[in-house]
Amino acid sequence: MADTTVSNSLPSETTSSTFADRPTYKWWVTWTIMIGSFLFALDTTIVNIAIPNIMASIGADLNEIQWVLIIYLIGMAVVMPASGWLSDLVGHKWLYTGSLTLFTVSSVLCGLAWSPTSLIIFRGLQGLGAGAIAPTAMAVIF
CATH number for 22-141: choose from 1.20.140.10, 1.20.1250.20, 3.30.470.10, 2.40.30.10: 1.20.1250.20
Burial of 100 (0-12, 13-18, 19+ CB in 10 A): buried
**One-letter amino acid of 37:** S
pTM, two decimals, is 0.77
Mean pLDDT across the stretch 120-131?
95
- Map out the domains of the chain as residue ranges: 22-141
36-60 confidence digits (pLDDT tens) = 888 878 888 888 898 999 999 999 9
**One-letter amino acid of 110:** C
78-106 confidence digits (pLDDT tens) = 999 998 899 889 988 899 999 999 999 99
CB 76 within 8 A of CB 131: yes
